[in-house]
Structure 1
Amino acid sequence: MTELIIYESKGEGDLFVERTVEALTPVAAGAGQTEINLDINQTYQEMDGFGASFTDSSAYLIHQVLTAEQRTEAMTRLFDAQEGIGLSVLRNPMGASDYARMLYSYDDRPEGETDPSLEHFTIAHDEEDVIPLVKEALKLNPAIKLFASPWSAPAWMKTSGSMKTGELKQEFYSSYADYFVRFIQAYKDKGLHIYAVTPQNEPLYEPAHYPSMLMLPEAQADFVKNHLKPSFIKSGLDTKILCYDHNWDRPDYPLTVLEQAKDSVDGVAWHWYGGKPAAQSDVFEAFAGKEVHFSEGSGGEWIPPFEQAFSNVMRTGIEILRNHSKSFILWNMALDEKNGPTVPGFGKSTCRGILLINQQTGELEYTLDYYALAHFSKVIRPGALRIGSSASSEHIRSVAFTNTDNSVAIVLFNDSDKAENVSIKLQGQEILACNLVGKSAVSVLVPHQ
């Protein structure tokens, strides 16, 4: 039998442990089993990958707070495909988000001044921490794709005159489209290609305590169709445009944008803070050929650690992939012991990063989100193609892919509290039989034979 590479998480003290086939509890002959049937002839989406965000806060913590030795370790464990978990997608804010040390855009002007020709545009802020880390990540994993999303246009472009709340003024639609072009070109000048952008992060949420901008679906369709896409074409940019970038509970938003903007939009980006992952499939089926991406999901204090929080990432991640997503991106790459830093006036933060970097002690910790993400990114590599995967028990959640080297990756999660006997069959032939304890995760890599 071909030797399988297996990673197993049984609980907080036993996370993402590489084991041999024999180390998994074998199933006794004749024991009742849940069958997982894999079909390589049934294919779905191609993966771009898995990752998180170098927010201003995350980049600062990794680049400035960690020692050089700690930073090398963290970046290797995050991005190296052999020594680490091989993260391959970054979705970074364009300007300040809620997780930034200050409010900033790429074209800030004194109150009362405007700059429609973007004479003062600069990405100097990103050159301090964000860009050096992106370059370091790319050295470790050249397959990384860069996504970017603004939380707000520059304050002078908005009805509120602030980076908090307000809408984009109609008179600045063209300037804002040029703002995206300048951003993409500035990153290109640094040797970095922006793979995809969204016009606005969470366009239906307008909080007053961090950067935000209301952008209704009709406005987004107008902006993309009549300004953003034409500016990309004029400038010769191949960066993809993904609409929406918000929760599953409002599929009417991307449906409206796709109907009105049509070929100007390449796909839809989703978040997990409301609704169900099936919304991804509903929109995908309505607009065949439009890509599906999952661009943000954060863990946090609202779901108790460890088991409930770990289980949530595993079960939801599997469902995100089973509903056609080409990416699975969590939120902050790193936060500190206070779940920050956050923008001034934010208040108490409850989010959790992939890394926890204690600013008081200097300690570096890999959180449960790191290990849950590892179950996907370690075995499902960029370019992998999802294949058919069905389970005879509703408690065993599964997703499977064939990688570009023809290896087969399977991610399983036992969503019950009881142990389950599992038999994995590839094209009808059993490749692994084992016992999965309750709430455990197993990732299996079947090398090309």
Structure 2
Amino acid sequence: MRFLVCFIFSFVIVAESKCMSKTFPGPENNSVCVCNSTYCDAIEEIEIVPHKIYVYESTLGGKRLELRKDELKFSREIINITIKFDNSKKFQKVFGFGGAFTDSVGINLLKLSKNTQKKLLYSYFNPKGGIGYTFGRVPIASTDFSTRIYSYNDIAEDFELQNFRLQVEDFKYKIPFITDANQMAGNKLKLVGSPWSAPAWMKASHNMTGIGGLIGDVKGKYYSTWATYFVKFLKEYAKAGIKFWGITIQNEPSSGLLPHYYWQTMAMDAKTQVAFVRLHLMPALNKSIYSNKLKIMAHDDNRPGLLTAALEIMNDKEGSKLIDGYAVHWYMDDYGHLSRLNETHAIDESKFILNTEACNGFRSPLRGVWLGSWARAERYAKDIIETLNNWSTGWIDWNLCLDVTGGPTWAKNNVDSPIIVIPQNDTFYKQPMFYAIGAFSRFIPPNSIRLHSWMEGTNYRDLSFTSLLTPQNVTILVLLNRGNNEIALSLDDVEKNLTKMVSLASRSITTILWNSL
């Protein structure tokens, strides 16, 4: 595989504080990195010398974002691959990476000491010692990852929303930690708000869970009140010093069509979403501090229905102009449908695509937490690579942290998380998934641009990769090797006629960096 590479290097990179490893029973080397109030592995800043490339790797064998010192050391079991890349061919800008501030996240954080809380948030949001998250998704009221079902106004027929109130969960579990995370991110955190359901009295089903949408026609008072609900949420968070970058119109609206869907949801098809924005939401926002400042995302659902939703939205000529992008979830990505991303981009290149939710452990028979799973790290890395290579502008994980049961969750929807909190020891575990996301988020800052890169010769199915150029002219290549063989990687810069050799470990997630000036 050959890459377009230029070797004039003047870039700041990092040396590692080593992982304090703990291993669990499992079919492979199931290991986590243990953090507590006094120690946590971190990435520290150093100055790098010119004329080198830098390789960070995480491996099944236990390395976790380690800066490699020996670039060329091959075993006998080796595959020769050439990657080429072309800096002159550029694609979409990347907005960033992040996770969600659910009630469950705040509940778990509060079970840790203040110092350990800070270490956990630092691990995610600090751009140097941590993995540099720049996105945070914030549920608008309750979700399955709350301990109860609640809205911000349960007073029926209050169409002026005079009784709208944030709840204790906002002040205890969300706002304090969002504030801390934003400070650690240099006050550059992009927040995305997403509703799961309107209050029960506004819905045809009179229930926040299960099948049903808002009462009446999209032109009616329930939709107008729902728009006011959004604005009041934004205003109340602004009072706490928290401003939002964007909102999604409705979390997984297709689930609101399922009669026995167990937790909070609300049906709203794409045609209704865009009409709601045109008739109610945008006029309400234009009267607020968020006039023309908020990114509005439609769909916020799984990949298979994306193109159909985009086509329906395009049919509303005026409303379509008000939609900035499409939010996509990963829960059906295993079934393919990657073409939906390309096709959606092709019909309207002015709208971005952003992956807004993902988690492992949501499907039987392997539901819940699987401590130290490398396979789940590989799933994350593969999905991030594939979506970036198909026009996604970023990737937002689900819960930032959970307990060992994969909760708390009132709906018993226990899943996995990149960080697992162990309150009895005032510790937390960084799972391989954490480092899989970090291979991207730590090194790909906002406004990086995806480059054209391709494999030449051998089509090695176990190797996936993506390449980007940062605003500082640093080229980033992130690779996933799911095979059991090492790879002798030849990086060819077609434009500058330069080649560099790098070794790639078996079962590894690797980030390679070099200066492209």
- TM-score scaled by structure 2? 0.80
Q: Which amino acid aligns with 1:223?
A: F
Q: Indicate if the aligned counterparts of 2:374 and 2:433 stay in contact, CA closer than 8 A.
A: no
Q: Which amino acid aligns with 2:296?
A: I
Residue number in structure 1 paired with 2:401 = 334
Q: How does 1:9-408 map to 2 (within 5 A)?
A: 9-11=58-60, 13-20=62-69, 22-23=70-71, 25=73, 33-62=80-109, 64-109=110-155, 113-125=156-168, 126-141=170-185, 142-165=187-210, 166-170=212-216, 171-206=221-256, 208-235=261-288, 236-251=291-306, 252-260=308-316, 261-274=319-332, 275-300=336-361, 302=363, 306-343=373-410, 346-347=411-412, 349-392=413-456, 393-395=459-461, 396-408=463-475
Q: Secondary structure at the match of 1:221?
A: helix
Q: Secondary structure at the match of 1:334?
A: coil
Against the structure 1 CA distance between its residues 441 and 389, is the aligned structure 2 distance closer, same or farther, given a 3 Å change threshold?
same
Q: Which amino acid aligns with 2:129?
A: E
C-alpha offsets along residues 174-219 of structure 1, whole Å, 9 cap, x if unaligned?
1111111111222222222211111110000135421111112222
Q: Indicate if the aligned counterparts of 1:232 and 1:238 stay in contact, CA closer than 8 A.
A: no
The CA deviation at 1:167 is 0.7
Q: Indicate if the aligned counterparts of 1:48 and 1:326 stay in contact, CA closer than 8 A.
A: yes
CA distance in 2, matches of 1:292, 1:217: 15
* 274-283 or 291-300, which deviates more: 274-283
CA distance in 1, matches of 2:499, 2:284: 52
Q: Indicate if the aligned counterparts of 2:355 and 2:396 stay in contact, CA closer than 8 A.
A: yes
C-alpha offsets along residues 336-382 of structure 1, whole Å, 9 cap, x if unaligned?
11110112xx23x3411121013454431112221110010111111
Q: Indicate if the aligned counterparts of 2:75 and 2:486 stay in contact, CA closer than 8 A.
A: no
Q: Secondary structure at the match of 1:73?
A: helix
Q: Indicate if the aligned counterparts of 1:311 and 1:415 stay in contact, CA closer than 8 A.
A: yes
CA distance in 2, matches of 1:237, 1:284: 23
CA distance in 2, matches of 1:159, 1:301: 29
The CA deviation at 1:130 is 0.8
CA distance in 1, matches of 2:492, 2:442: 21
Q: Which amino acid aligns with 1:130?
A: K
CA distance in 1, matches of 2:154, 2:111: 27
Q: Which amino acid aligns with 2:157?
A: T
CA distance in 2, matches of 1:212, 1:411: 36
The CA deviation at 1:228 is 1.2
Q: Indicate if the aligned counterparts of 2:74 and 2:486 stay in contact, CA closer than 8 A.
A: no
CA distance in 2, matches of 1:278, 1:354: 28
Against the structure 1 CA distance between its residues 81 and 429, is the aligned structure 2 distance closer, same or farther, given a 3 Å change threshold?
farther
The CA deviation at 1:119 is 0.7
CA distance in 2, matches of 1:12, 1:156: 54
The CA deviation at 1:12 is 5.2
Residue number in structure 2 paired with 1:444 = 512
C-alpha offsets along residues 82-106 of structure 1, whole Å, 9 cap, x if unaligned?
1111111111111111111111222
Q: Which amino acid aligns with 1:387?
A: L
Q: Which amino acid aligns with 2:142?
A: A
The CA deviation at 1:234 is 3.3
Q: Secondary structure at the match of 1:264?
A: coil
Q: Which amino acid aligns with 1:434?
A: V
Q: Indicate if the aligned counterparts of 1:293 and 1:328 stay in contact, CA closer than 8 A.
A: yes
- Residues matched between the structures, number: 439
Residue number in structure 1 paired with 2:501 = 433
Residue number in structure 1 paired with 2:36 = none
Q: Secondary structure at the match of 2:385?
A: helix
Please report the RMSD computed on the Cα atoms of aligned residues, expressed in angstroms: 2.1
CA distance in 1, matches of 2:323, 2:356: 16
* 387-396 or 47-56, which deviates more: 387-396
Against the structure 1 CA distance between its residues 366 and 258, is the aligned structure 2 distance closer, same or farther, given a 3 Å change threshold?
farther
C-alpha offsets along residues 287-322 of structure 1, whole Å, 9 cap, x if unaligned?
121111000111116467723222111111100111
CA distance in 2, matches of 1:215, 1:301: 24
CA distance in 2, matches of 1:97, 1:32: 47
Against the structure 1 CA distance between its residues 34 and 23, is the aligned structure 2 distance closer, same or farther, given a 3 Å change threshold?
closer
Q: Indicate if the aligned counterparts of 2:439 and 2:511 stay in contact, CA closer than 8 A.
A: yes
Q: Secondary structure at the match of 1:193?
A: coil
Uncovered stretches (5+) of structure 2, i.e. residues with no partner: 1-49
Q: Secondary structure at the match of 2:444?
A: coil
* 286-295 or 406-415, which deviates more: 406-415
CA distance in 2, matches of 1:237, 1:188: 16
The CA deviation at 1:447 is 3.5
Q: Indicate if the aligned counterparts of 1:32 and 1:421 stay in contact, CA closer than 8 A.
A: yes
Q: Indicate if the aligned counterparts of 2:451 and 2:467 stay in contact, CA closer than 8 A.
A: yes
Q: Secondary structure at the match of 2:62?
A: coil
Q: Indicate if the aligned counterparts of 1:26 and 1:433 stay in contact, CA closer than 8 A.
A: no
C-alpha offsets along residues 37-94 of structure 1, whole Å, 9 cap, x if unaligned?
22221111111100110101012211x1111111111111111111111111111111
The CA deviation at 1:27 is 9.3
C-alpha offsets along residues 393-441 of structure 1, whole Å, 9 cap, x if unaligned?
3432111111111111110112333322211223354464223233311
CA distance in 2, matches of 1:307, 1:338: 19
Residue number in structure 2 paired with 1:419 = 486
Q: Secondary structure at the match of 2:85?
A: strand
Q: Indicate if the aligned counterparts of 1:292 and 1:324 stay in contact, CA closer than 8 A.
A: yes
Q: Secondary structure at the match of 1:210?
A: coil
Q: Secondary structure at the match of 2:245?
A: strand
CA distance in 1, matches of 2:472, 2:329: 31
